[in-house]
A and B are shown apart, each in its own frame.
Chain A
Amino acid sequence: MTKLLTSRRSLLKSSAAAAGAIGMPSLVRAADAARPIRIGLLAPLTGVIAAGGKELVEGFQMYWEQVGMMAGTRKVEIVIEDDASNPDTALQKARRLVEQANVDFLFGNILANTGLAVANYVKNTGTPYFIPVIAADDLTQRTRIPNVIRVAGYTASQTAHPLGDWAYKQGYRHVATISQDYTFGHEQCGGFAQVFTEAGGKIVQQFWHPLNTSDFSSYLGQLVTAGADAIFAMETGADSTRFIQQYASFGLKGRIPLLGSMNATDQSVIRTMGADAEGIISCAHFAEGSTDPVTVKFVADYEKRYQKLPSIYGFSHYSGAMWVDEALGKIRGNVEDRALFLKTVLATELVGSPLGKTVKLDAYGNPVYDVMVRKVVKRPDGKLWNEPFETYPQVSQFWKYDPETYMKQPPYSRTFQGIKA
């Protein structure tokens, strides 16, 4: 079976080469059109982030269903594998998708460690791998892998940079930060801290708490006495829910303004919350409460289909699928030519997507966005969502720094936060 497939593969390759040589791409198309494009989707359907994994699949499937499971003239097949929120499982499943299911490219994953494991694997196989949610800065910076592209994704610090600038412009001069103690948190916090302190602000204190902290009281007590004008909280998932609730129940809400990382007020967190979450400010490249007609339509469609507002996971995979589909259309579905495919994806500027204005990728494979400053407000029907009220146009992963200079500084970590004394 595999033998057969391999020989067919090499046949395709050689015919592609031959066709390329005599300049007859139509021949390749005729041969390829028979076979559907296979996409391997890796999603954490079990484990700590299973809820997000489900939304990831929903967003991805919703896009392909809307376009009739077709990319250009070729049918699309999606093979879904559960990465169990575990990097070793993710790696094993990526192997299965590439070597056994013969997928043309990989998509997905949520947790940075799963994404990094898969990226390390595709470095050798050359399989294109698209990561709309994996935010580890270095995947499109210091340790970039050419076939790993962050379509419709973001680096951890990308949306935290403008928030640091915005906070300073609000007149905040002293900010305390609290963050989950892992790389994603270090990077988001670092992005905020660097821009804020370079503008002239001061980080009075930084708190790092382990993942799955159930009781924030000891941190909240110290946050009150830290002497901060505002507090920046980097939280995700259940930690975020608990932090925001306890922030309110300890009476800090209304006393000290709360700024959140983009995930802290994501739909996956606030859709089950009440007034506690209202008024939190965050920065992101997406706001479900935007009045942009394309976003409004996407949000309405999603809500109709799944009875909930889209989270960053569903949204990013919907947009990521659209991005790759756009590129596939340009090359008439010729995924077999990986170099051409990757080049085309990198060069594709996405127009009319729920991402908002035209979005393009920078030279490192990370999108440049208009980043919105958002506030959690209640919709007329009582549901909470993020409404944008200010925009930072064309924010790249390097903020306003020169990429080369920026990458010379060490990656953000617990010990390096880019803080200018």
Chain B
Amino acid sequence: MIRILSPVLIGIAALAPLVLPTYFVSVATQILIFAVLAMAVDLLAGFTGRTPLCHGAIFGTSAYVTIYAASVVGWPIGLAMLTGILAATCLAMVFGLLAVRTSGVYFLLLTLALGLIVWGVCLRWTEITGGENGLRAQLREDLGLSTRQLYVAVLVTVLCATAAMWRLVRSPFGLTMRGIKEGEGRMASLGYDVTLHLLIAFTASGFFAGVAGALYAVFNDFASPSIVQLSSSVQGLLMAIVGGVGTLFGGFVGAFVIIAMEQTVSAFTERWPTVLGLTFILMMIFAPEGVVGKARLLLKR
């Protein structure tokens, strides 16, 4: 199924900027970036059974560091992005060290609290982060990329990241992750170091969230506390859930559904958050396994 669909979808994605107006190209860019964030969340939530609420903070840290390194320190943009990704990875490792021994609701709450610390730092450390007003840059302009060129660059990066994540979850390591999700005690008794595996999974997930964050920095030219706050983490998680937890590619579907809905519904009513909320409730009642998960179930029948 994947083998037939993916080349078609990639083809459509690659050709899309030729026909779409620039605004929709930038929406599509945003969808791709958030898809990576959603997949990073899914690495943890779907494959190790640990649902994190701090990925917005990791994602945002990468964006902040990228913008700071490029615009304040004056590093080349590529190096700034790598620094951003590195910062996000290190942060994820620290979070992982603190959180992986817990599970279930405790894991959720602990990661939530860790994420809030980042938010608090971004808000209060005004000299570095610009406080409430955030940091601004002209990265896209400096790179000299048009909206369409940026889209292509993001698409290539996102495809590489997706391939890497796909490879990761299909590898023996990925099977171990799934094993931990299904039966943590059994994996431990089989001699697997569960904590270490979880820590590596957490760090890898943070790395990919960092990739998304660095791309977002270039896309948005702007970072403020709103991208590290709780709602940003929730959004990443929501996209993973809507797409289908444990499906990986569901991230694309989730990001597409949520961003497309925001775009269309908000054009008709200022009550768009209500409409979105109701949709999620209905979704959780009738298709808790997400769009991709539901589709798989229906296909199997």
Contact = CB atoms under 8 A, between A and B. Distances in A.
Interface of A: 1-2, 45-46, 81-82, 84, 86-88, 91-92, 95-96, 99-100, 112-113, 116-117, 120-121, 123-124, 136, 181-183, 186, 413-415
Given A87-B224, A415-B127, A96 B23 contact: yes
Interface residues of B, number: 28
A410 to B, nearest CB: 10
Interface string B171-194: 000000000000000000000000
Interface string B116-149: 0000000010110001111010101100000000
Interface string B57-81: 0000000000000000000000000
For the complex of A and B, the 10 pairs showing the least CB-CB separation, nearest first, are: A99-B23, A100-B23, A2-B21, A182-B132, A120-B136, A45-B270, A87-B224, A113-B133, A99-B22, A183-B133
A355 to B, nearest CB: 27
B131 A88 contact: no
Contacts of B266: 81-82
Contacts of B270: 45-46, 82
Given A86-B226, A88-B226, A100-B23, A182 B138 contact: no
B21 A183 contact: no
A183 B129 CA distance: 12
A120 B26 contact: no
A100 B220 contact: no
Main secondary structure of the interface of B (DSSP, over half): helix
B132 A88 contact: no
Contacts of A186: 126
Contacts of A123: 138
B222 interface: yes
A116 B23 contact: no
A99 B25 CA distance: 10
A88 B227 contact: yes
Contact of B224 (A81, A95, A99, A113): A113
B134 A87 contact: yes
Contacts of A113: 132-134, 224, 226
A187 B166 CA distance: 50
Contacts of B134: 87, 113, 116-117
A361 B26 CA distance: 35
A88 B224 contact: yes
28 contacts: A1-B21, A2-B21, A45-B270, A81-B266, A82-B266, A84-B273, A87-B134, A88-B226, A88-B227, A96-B263, A99-B26, A100-B21, A100-B23, A100-B24, A112-B133, A113-B133, A113-B224, A113-B226, A116-B133, A117-B136, A120-B138, A123-B138, A124-B140, A182-B131, A182-B132, A183-B132, A413-B126, A413-B127
B142 to A, nearest CB: 11
B222 A120 contact: yes
A393 B133 CA distance: 31
A81 B266 CA distance: 8
A46 B226 CA distance: 15
B45 to A, nearest CB: 23
Contact of A136 (B126, B133, B140): B133
A136 B224 CA distance: 15
A88 B220 contact: yes
Nearest to A101: B23
A87 B124 CA distance: 17
A109 to B, nearest CB: 13
B141 A99 contact: no
Given A46-B273, A136-B133, A121 B221 contact: yes
A183 B226 CA distance: 15
A119 to B, nearest CB: 8
Given A88-B227, A121-B221, A112 B132 contact: yes
Nearest to A92: B30
Given A46-B270, A87-B134, A88-B227, 17 more contacts: A46-B272, A87-B226, A88-B226, A92-B30, A95-B23, A100-B21, A112-B132, A112-B133, A113-B226, A116-B136, A117-B224, A120-B138, A120-B222, A182-B131, A183-B126, A183-B131, A414-B126
